[in-house]
A and B are shown apart, each in its own frame.
Chain A
């Protein structure tokens, strides 16, 4: 089955620790995206990548880092510099341009203890 997988589904982190969220897709999509969702809020773009070895900051990139070493993988690291990391994180992919439909993974719920 083609799709997007994110792991883990739930993640707990102590303050001051970095944590990496996984996102993998087998849709052969060029573009991948990371969003953050807070309760009662829409989606805010953290980072996106249109091609391997290249990525751009979104609207709320501070405290986050990404890499795109393989077409199918786009991991997100939440660093200790992120002031309020507790949120729901969604990964998406699309054919390549911003107007293409984005397809989403199941999400990772991160809680900082």
Chain B
């Protein structure tokens, strides 16, 4: 069965610190997709990244980076030099190709960036 675990319920860091949000997933499929979304206080989920299971190359986008490791079934998200605007709830999600057309979301990590 597919499952996404975000063990960190809530994290607080001081502005400009780096922070890593953990995501561990379970799947029996060889073809799957992983996602990260940001939910700011306004409530709308903002898409950040989509990564397929055959592409283990790490990704960097500005202050954001993602570390995908199939060996540990993890897809961690790092924010470098955090800013107050990064305060939000972050969701990791998993979708298996050809199965039910669903995305399974983790429970989210609430990130507080303190000024």
Contact = CB atoms under 8 A, between A and B. Distances in A.
Contacts of A98: 95-97, 99-103
Interface in A61-93: 88, 90, 92
Contacts, number: 58
A101 B99 contact: no
Nearest to B107: A42
A102 B93 CA distance: 11
The interface size bin for chain B is 20 to 34
A11 interface: no
A41 B97 CA distance: 25
Interface residues of A, number: 24
A101 B108 contact: no
B86 to A, nearest CB: 19
B44 A101 contact: no
B45 A41 contact: no
Contacts of A58: 102
A45 B101 CA distance: 11
A48 interface: yes
A90 B91 contact: no
Interface of B: 9, 32-33, 35, 37, 42-47, 50, 52, 91, 95-97, 99-103, 105-108
